[in-house]
Amino acid sequence: MDTKALRQKVLDLAIRGKLVPQDPNDEPASVLLERIRQQKQQMVKEGKLKAKDIKNDSIIFVDEDNLHYEKFADGSVKCIEDDIPFDLPDGWAWARLGAVAEAIGDGDHQPPPQTSFGVPFLVISNVSGGQLSFENTRFVSKEYFSQLPETRKPRNGDLLFTVTGSYGIPVLVDSDDRFCFQRHIAIVRPCIISNRYLYVVLGSSYVKSICDAKATGTAQKTVGLATLRELLIPVAPYREQMQIYAQTQDALSIVDSVSSDKEDLLNIIENAKAKILDLAIRGQLVPQDPNDEPASVLLERIRAEKEDLIRQGKIKRDKKESVIFRGEDNSYYLNDGTSTIDISEELPFDIPDSWCWGRLKDIVMINPRNKLNDDTMVAFIPMPLIEDGYSGRHTSGVRKWKEVKTGFTHFQEGDVGVAKITPCFENRKSAIFENLCNGFGAGTTELHVFRPYNGTILPRYLLAYMKSAQFVENGKQTFSGAVGQQRLSKEYVENAYLPIPPMEEQKRIVHQLGIVFKHLNSISDSLS
C-alpha cells in the first residue's frame, strides 16, 4: 500500500468537495468571498493595508453561459474557463490565493546578522518536515527582528509555504512564539478564510502540480510569489471548511497509523532477513548430509589452486598464510607456518562437523587486479549503482578499459564487492558483479572485492556472509578515519573468520535463501 499516494488521495477528495457532504443551508462561498473583499477594503481605509495590496484582487464568477469569468479591479472581464482545473460542488467558488489573503510574502533576502541568542531565524530545514521545528535553529537580535516589516513576522494563524528546493510544503503557524525566516519560505496570511482549510488546499497534489509546472531555476527550483498570489484555489463554504479540515485530519491519522504499521512490518521483514542469514552461516538453515564431501576437501582444493596460480606468476605467495584445523581436544588451532595457537575463543560460534573455518585472505582473493586491452569495453559501477539492503543487485554503465584501469577498483564476473566506507557498509551496499560488459569491470574505490577460487566458495554464499549481522556488526567496530569518512579496516577484512560449508550444502543454503527472500520481498513489495 502506497500510503503517500493515499494521503494525497484524501487531500484530493477534500478540495473537490468529496470528503464531506454539502449542506444546502450553509452560507455559500460567494458570500464569504464578498465579506473578504469588504474586510480588505476596510483594512486599506484603516491603513492596515495599502491600496496596491488589493489592486490585483479579482472576482471569479459563473455567467449565464455557465462559463467561468474573472473580473479585475479595473472593471475588465476575461473568460478563464480553460484555466478551471475541475468542477466544484454547488455553493463552492474559485478564487485567487492572493484575493483571500491579507498578504503573501517571503523572508529576508539578505543573510541576517546572526547572534548566539535572541529571536529564532528559521531556514527551510526547520519546516521541511511539515511543521515548525526550533531545533538547531539560528538566531537574530531582537533589534533586527523589530525592524522587520509585519509581513515578515509570522503570527499565530499564518501559513508558511516552502518555495525553493523542497518547495510545496505548507506549515501551520500555531504558536505565539516570535521567529523570522529566510527567503526560501513564503508566508500566507489568510483573511477570514480558514487557515486550516488553506493548509489542506496547499498540501494537495493539485497545488504541487501547479508548483511543478511554474517553478523556475536549475540548481534549485523556485516557486515565485506571483505564482502563489495567482494560484486558483477552490473555496468551500466556511462551515464546510471546518468540517473538511477535521475530516481530513481524522482520515490522515488513519493513514499515518497504517504507515506506522507498514513501517513496523518492513522492519520485521528486515530483521527476519538478518536472522535467516545468521542461521545460514551457522549451518542451521538447511540440514547437513553425511554424504556431502566435507569442507576440508574444499580447503585442499583452494590450496592446490593457489599453488598453481603462484607457479603461473598470477599471484604472490602470502608469507603469513595460515591453516585452521580442529585438534584432538576438539579445539580449533591456527598455524601460520611459524607457530600454532588456540583460537577457539576467537571464533564467534559453533559450526557443524562437516564445516571448516578459514580466514578470508586464505580462502578468497582480495582486491585482485585485471589486465586487459586498453580498448576493451567494460562495465563501470559507481557506488550509487549498488543497491542497499539484502538484494545484492547492481546496475552499470560502460567505459573503455583505458579510462578506468587506474584510479578505480577492479573486478570481474562473479566477484563479490562490499562497500568499505560508512554508511554504505552498514547499509549493506554489497553485490555479486554479474552481466558485466565483456565479463570485466571497474568502479568506486570505496569497495573491497572478493574473488573465490574456482569450485570452492559460491559467490552467493559469500555474499550472504558479507551481509550477515556477524560480519557487519563486527566490521563496524574496526572503523577508522574522520567522522563521516570512516572505513572498514583492511586487517579485519583479511582476517575475518569465514564459516565454510561443504559445496553441496552451500548450494542448498543458496537455494533456500533464494526461496525465503523471494517470499519476504513479495510481502515488502505488496506494502509499497
Output the nine-digit C-alpha cell for 145: 527582528
Tell me what pLDDT residue 202 has.
96
For 468-527, write each residue's pLDDT tens digit: 999 999 999 999 887 678 999 889 999 999 999 999 999 999 999 999 999 888 877 776
Q: Percent of the chain, pLDDT > 90?
A: 77
Largest Cα–Cα distance in the chain?
103
- Cell 529564532 sits at which residue? 120
Output the nine-digit C-alpha cell for 247: 475530516
As a whole number of angstroms, the distance between CA 27 and CA 383 comes to 59
Query: Pick the residue with more confidence: 106 or 260?
Result: 106
Beta bridge partners of 398: 379
Q: What are the CB-based long-range contacts (under 8 Å, 24+) for 3-8? A: 3/255, 3/256, 3/258, 3/259, 3/262, 6/255, 6/258, 7/252, 7/255, 8/204, 8/205
DSSP string, 157-169: T-EEEE-BSS---
Q: Is 428 helix (H, G, I), strand (E, B) or coil?
A: coil
Look at residues 349, 329, 364 and name the one whose alpha carbon lies nearest to residue 457.
364
Domain ranges of the chain: 3-258, 295-349
Output the nine-digit C-alpha cell for 57: 484582487
- Ranking 85-89, 131-135, 345-349 by mean pLDDT, the lowest is 131-135
Q: What secondary structure letter does DSSP report for 264?
A: H
- Cell 521545528 sits at which residue? 133
Contact 411, 433 (CB under 8 A): yes
Strand order through the sheet with 416-419: 364-366, 447-452, 416-419, 430-432
**Residues 6+ away with beta carbon under 8 Å from 253:** none
Tell me what pLDDT residue 392 has.
92
For 266-325, write each residue's pLDDT tens digit: 888 888 999 999 999 999 999 999 999 999 999 999 999 988 888 988 888 887 788 999
As a whole number of angstroms, the distance between CA 9 and CA 4 comes to 9
Question: For residues 460, 463, 468 and 473, what is the CA-based torsion angle, rounded to 10 degrees?
Answer: 170
For residue 66, the Cα-to-chain-centroid distance in whole angstroms is 47
- Tallying the residues shown for the chain, one arrives at 528
Q: Does the pLDDT at position 126 exceed 80?
A: yes
Q: Where are the alpha helices (DSSP H) in 319-427?
A: 360-363, 401-404
Q: Percent of the chain, pLDDT > 70?
A: 98
Tell me what pLDDT residue 203 has.
94
Q: Does the pLDDT at position 48 exceed 70?
A: yes
Q: Is 408 helix (H, G, I), strand (E, B) or coil?
A: coil
> Peptide bond preceding 237: is omega within 30 degrees of 0, i.e. cis?
no
Q: How confident is the model at residue 528 (pLDDT cuts 50, 70, 90)?
A: low
Contact 70, 60 (CB under 8 A): yes
Determine the average pLDDT of the residues in 180-188.
93
Tell me what pLDDT residue 319 has.
77
As a whole number of angstroms, the distance between CA 249 and CA 245 comes to 6
Integer CA distances (angstroms), 12 to 8, 160, 194, in order: 6, 20, 18
As a whole number of angstroms, the distance between CA 521 and CA 505 comes to 24
What's the Rg (C-alpha) of the chain? 33
Which amino acid, one-letter code, is at 268?
Answer: I
3-state secondary structure 43-68: HHHCCCCCHHHHCCCCEEEECCCCCE
Q: Does the pLDDT at position 1 exceed 60?
A: no
For 29-39, write each residue's pLDDT tens digit: 999 999 999 99
- Cell 487531500 sits at which residue? 11
* 10 phi/psi in degrees, rounded to 5: -60, -50
Q: How confident is the model at residue 220 (pLDDT cuts 50, 70, 90)?
A: confident
The string over 184-200, giving b where at least 16 C-beta atoms fall within 10 Å of a residue's C-beta and e elsewhere, is bbbbbbbbebbbbbbbb
Determine the average pLDDT of the residues in 10-16.
93
Q: How confident is the model at residue 260 (pLDDT cuts 50, 70, 90)?
A: confident
Contact 194, 188 (CB under 8 A): no
Look at residues 457, 469, 471 and name the one whose alpha carbon lies nearest to residue 510.
457
Contact 401, 395 (CB under 8 A): no
* 343 phi/psi in degrees, rounded to 5: -115, 15
For residue 63, the Cα-to-chain-centroid distance in whole angstroms is 48
Tell me what pLDDT residue 2 has.
66
Predicted TM-score of the model (pTM): 0.60
Q: Looking at the domain that runs over 3-258, which CATH code has it been given?
A: 3.90.220.20
**Residues 6+ away with beta carbon under 8 Å from 183:** 106, 107, 108, 109, 164
- Cell 510569489 sits at which residue? 225
On average, the pLDDT of the chain sits at 92
As a whole number of angstroms, the distance between CA 497 and CA 360 comes to 6
Q: How confident is the model at residue 362 (pLDDT cuts 50, 70, 90)?
A: very high
